[in-house]
Amino acid sequence: MVTKIEAIKTEVAKVVVGQEKMIDSLLIGLFCEGHILIEGIPGLAKTTTVNALSKSLGLDFKRVQFTPDLLPSDILGAEIYDPQHNAFKIKQGPIFTNLLLADEINRAPAKVQSALLEVMQERQITIGDESFKLPPPFFVMATQNPIEQEGVYQLPEAQLDRFMLKLTVGYNTKEEELEIARRIANNKSETVTAVVTPEEITQIQEAVRAVHIDAEVEAYIIELVSATRDPKAYGLETLEEYIQFGASPRVSIDTFKAVKAMALLRGKDYVTPVDIAYIIKELMRHRIVLTYEAEAEGITTDTIIEKVLKAVPIP
């Protein structure tokens, strides 16, 4: 399984320089059947990485550019009248795919964003009176630009909670940026080819589920989540005024899944606290609701998570 995972990474690296955390997180989302939200300024290869990943997996891939005038039917599809047969038929939208890239998702209003809620949770789409089950694998990768102020809409908490991971993508190193510039200037980008089949993806997903988590490590995950809800019980009284709502139950569920995938990506068949620490910010940062006091003082959810990691004893 590890060989197949490395083959996927090698293919993606043909067109993407660096950004290892983003690639690892996308693979975790795929292997755990979770959805990913990627936040970063333009030009950091978010869309390129998702496109390269879909090609390396040999899966059907669709991209939707979210705009303020987008309608739910533009994503899901709609009933249209067929004059030849004097009947209505279903025209399927781009959601009928394996990998859906929702580009700049925060540019569309809540009505359009909520169109994704059912399919993200149930892997099912309802159009008119008909419901359609999507064949696995299916997952949504959404991008958003954090620096836009006009013409953008904040994602509802209910939708944020359905994303397994939220990544914040930063700049490449100077060496990586030099390599990117050279590749593009000399037109040296390579072609990405499929290196796994859907059946092999299913096998990797089964291998992820088989990764062992010790009972003490399981309890450690629950303690981390609980500390965001009741910080006072963990000696974090100063955080109480900053946290309006702690991490949701989905964090516990998704963490159990994600850390197994993280361990497998590192070639192990068991989970350690190091695997948890590597991915816990991506699992929690979008699921902790801060108070106005926290925002006024520049306290971020990442700051909260760092303090929780230091306060909860490692098994």
Domains of the chain: 2-183 (3.40.50.300), 211-311 (1.10.8.80)
Say what the pLDDT of residue 220 is.
93
CB atoms within 10 A of CB 78: 15
What parts of the chain have a pLDDT lower than 70? 1-2, 147-151, 188
Res 147: pLDDT = 64
Three-state secondary-structure class, residue 162: coil
Residue 79 falls in which region: left (phi positive, over 0), alpha (psi -120 to 50) or beta? beta
Distance CA 5, CA 7 (A): 5
| pLDDT given at position 150 | 60
pLDDT at 151: 61
Q: What are phi and psi of 207, to 5 degrees?
A: -65, -35
